[in-house]
Homo-oligomer: A and B are copies of this chain.
Amino acid sequence: MTALRRSWIDSANSPDTDFPLNNLPYGVFSTEDSAPRCGVAIGDQIVDVKGLEEAGILTSGEPPVFSKPSWNAFMELGPEAWNGFRGALMALLAEKTGLKERVKPYLVPMAEARMHMPFEVSEYTDFYAGKNHAVNVGTMFRGPENALPPNWLHIPIGYNGRASSVVVSGTDVRRPWGQLKAPDMEAPVFAPCKRFDLELEMGAIVGVPSSGPITVQEADDMIFGYVLLNDWSARDIQAWEYQPLGPFQAKATATTISPWIVTKAALEPFRTSTPEREKELLPYLQEPTPMLYDITLEVTLAPDGKEASTIARTNYSQMYYSAAQQLAHHTTSGCPMRVGDLLGSGTISGPTKAERGSLLELSWGGKEPLTLESGETRNFLEDGDTLTLAGAAKGDGVRVGFGVCAGKVLPALDDPFKR
Residues of A within 8 A of B (CB): 122-123, 128, 149, 151, 154-155, 157-165, 174, 176-179, 181, 187-190, 193, 212-215, 234, 237, 240-250, 252-254, 279, 282-284, 329-330, 332-338, 341, 413, 416-417
Known: A189-B282, A212-B416, A413-B212. A245 touches B154 (CB 8 A): no
- Interchain CB contact (< 8 A) of A334 among B161, B212, B243, B253: B253
> Do B246 and A333 touch across chains, with their CB atoms under 8 A apart?
no
Structural contact, B416 and A176, CB atoms closer than 8 A: no
Q: Tell me the minimal C-beta distance from A204 to chain B in angstroms.
A: 16
Q: How far is the CA of A234 from the CA of B332 in the complex (A)?
A: 12
- Is the Cβ of A416 less than 8 Å from the Cβ of B213? yes
Number of copies: 2
Which residue in chain B gives the minimum CB-CB distance to A173?
A: B334
B164, B246, B253, B334: the one contacting A159 at CB < 8 Å is B246
Closest partner residue, chain B, to A237 (CB atom): B333
Q: How far is the CB of A179 from chain B (nearest CB, A)?
A: 6
| Residue from B212, B214, B254, B282 in contact with A190 in the complex, judged by beta carbons closer than 8 Å | B282
Q: Give Cα A189–Cα B190 distance, bound, in whole angstroms.
A: 43
The reply to whether B177 and A213 form a contact with Cβ atoms under 8 Å apart is: yes
In the complex the two chains form, is B241's CB within 8 Å of A157's CB? yes
Contact between B248 and A187, CB atoms less than 8 A apart: no
In the assembled complex, which residues on chain B have CB atoms less than 8 Å from the CB atom of A237? 333
Question: Which among B179, B247, B283 is the interface contact of A282 at CB below 8 angstroms?
Answer: B179
Contact: A335 with B213, CB < 8 Å?
no
Interchain CA distance A415-B337 in the complex, whole Å: 19
- A133 to B: closest C-beta gap in Å: 13
Across-interface contacts of A247 in B (CB, < 8 A): 245-246
A108 to B118, CA, bound (A): 43
Residue numbers in B under 8 Å from A178 (CB-CB): 332-333
Q: Which of B155, B187, B234, B244 contacts A333 (CB 8 A)?
A: B234
Task: Give the CA-CA distance A160 to B246 in the complex, in Å.
Answer: 9
Q: Measured between alpha carbons, how far is A174 from B215 in the docked complex, in Å?
A: 18
10 interchain pairs, CB-CB under 8 A: A128-B244, A128-B245, A149-B243, A154-B179, A155-B241, A160-B162, A188-B282, A190-B283, A212-B416, A213-B416
